[in-house]
C-alpha cells in the first residue's frame, strides 16, 4: 500500500532520527526531549520550525502506526528509532538522501552530496543523481521529484514527496484552449475589444447621421 502523506513535522522527526543515528550514535535511540531539540534547531534546517513536546509526541505516535518509528524503553524514559529503510525497502544511501531533503528542503544534487556527507559519503555527484533517479522511478511510487529549473539557475533542485507533490510557486493554473488554439483569457479579451469597437462604431454612425441631417443630405 502507498505510504500516507506525512506532515512537515512528521518528516522532520524522521530526518532527525536518521541524522542523529549517524552523528550521535552514543545517545541513539533518541528521547522525546532530544527529538524536540533536533526538530527545532536553528542550524542545518530549512524551514526552521517551532514545535512543542506534545506536537512532536503526536508526530511520533502517527509514525509508529506506520512502522516508520520504533519505540523502546531506555532507563526511565522512552526512546525512539527510525525504520525507514525497512518500511520503504530502500538502501541506506537512499535513506541518507531522503533525510537530507527532509531536514534542509529542496537542493541540487551537489548540495545534497555536501549536506549528506555526515550520513553517507557519496563518491561524486553522479552517484547522488543515480540514487535520486532510482527513488523517483520506484514501482510503488516516487519518493523524490526533480523540480523545474528556476530562472537564472544552472542546476535543477530535488525534493522529497513524502509530504505530497510540490506546489510550485508562481505556476500558472491550466488554461482552457478553444478550437482555434486561443487560451480562454485571450478569447475573453478579444471579445471585450470587439464589443468596445462595436460601441464606438455605433456612436460614429449616430453622429454621422445627425451631421447629414443638419446639412440636408440624404443617407
Give per-residue pLDDT as tens, 155-213. 999 999 999 876 544 433 433 444 444 444 455 556 666 766 777 777 777 777 777 77
For the chain, which residues score pLDDT lower than 70? 1, 74, 166-193, 195-196, 218-219
Q: Are 66 and 110 in a shared domain?
A: yes
Does any domain span residue 196? yes
In angstroms, the CA 24 to CA 1 distance is 33
Q: Are 60 and 33 in a shared domain?
A: yes
User: How wide is the angle at C-alpha 66 spanned by C-alphas 63 and 68, nearest 5°?
Assistant: 60
pLDDT for residue 169: 43
DSSP H helical ranges for 70-183: 84-88, 92-104, 109-115, 125-136
* Domain total of the chain: 2
Length of the chain: 219
pLDDT for residue 151: 84
Please report, in angstroms and rounded to a whole number, the separation of the first and last CA atoms in the chain: 80
Q: Are 28 and 99 in a shared domain?
A: yes
The CATH number covering residue 155 comes to 1.10.10.10
Q: Are 44 and 145 in a shared domain?
A: yes
Q: Are 117 and 140 in a shared domain?
A: yes
Q: Are 133 and 209 in a shared domain?
A: no
pLDDT for residue 45: 96
> Which residues have C-beta within 8 Å of that of residue 207, sequence separation ≥ 6?
none
Domain end call among 111, 131, 160:
160
Q: Residue 118 is part of which domain span?
A: 8-160
In angstroms, the CA 206 to CA 202 distance is 6
Does any domain span residue 169? no
Q: Are 87 and 137 in a shared domain?
A: yes
pLDDT for residue 188: 58
| Integer Rg of the chain from CA | 29
Amino acid at each position: 500500500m502507498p505510504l500516507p502523506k506525512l506532515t512537515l513535522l512528521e518528516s522532520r522527526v524522521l530526518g532527525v532520527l536518521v541524522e542523529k543515528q549517524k552523528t550521535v550514535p552514543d545517545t541513539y535511540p533518541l528521547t522525546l526531549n532530544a527529538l524536540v531539540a533536533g526538530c527545532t534547531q536553528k542550524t542545518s534546517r530549512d524551514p526552521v520550525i517551532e514545535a512543542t513536546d506534545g506536537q512532536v509526541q503526536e508526530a511520533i505516535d502517527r509514525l509508529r502506526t506506520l512502522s516508520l518509528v520504533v519505540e523502546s524503553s531506555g532507563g526511565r524514559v522512552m526512546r525512539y528509532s527510525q525504520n525507514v529503510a525497512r518500511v520503504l525497502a530502500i538502501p541506506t544511501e537512499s535513506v541518507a538522501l531522503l533525510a537530507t531533503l527532509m531536514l534542509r528542503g529542496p537542493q541540487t544534487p551537489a548540495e545534497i552530496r555536501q549536506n549528506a556527507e555526515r550520513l553517507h559519503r557519496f563518491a561524486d555527484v553522479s552517484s547522488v543523481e543515480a540514487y535520486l533517479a532510482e527513488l523517483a522511478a520506484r514501482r510503488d511510487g516516487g519518493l523524490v521529484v526533480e523540480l523545474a529549473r528556476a530562472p537564472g539557475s544552472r542546476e535543477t533542485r530535488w525534493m522529497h514527496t513524502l509530504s505530497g507533490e510540490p506546489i510550485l510557486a508562481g505556476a500558472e493554473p491550466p488554461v482552457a484552449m478553444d478550437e482555434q488554439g486561443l487560451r480562454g483569457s485571450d478569447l475573453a479579451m478579444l471579445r471585450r475589444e470587439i464589443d468596445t469597437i462595436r460601441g464606438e462604431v455605433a456612436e460614429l454612425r449616430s453622429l454621422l447621421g445627425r451631421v447629414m441631417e443638419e446639412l440636408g443630405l440624404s443617407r
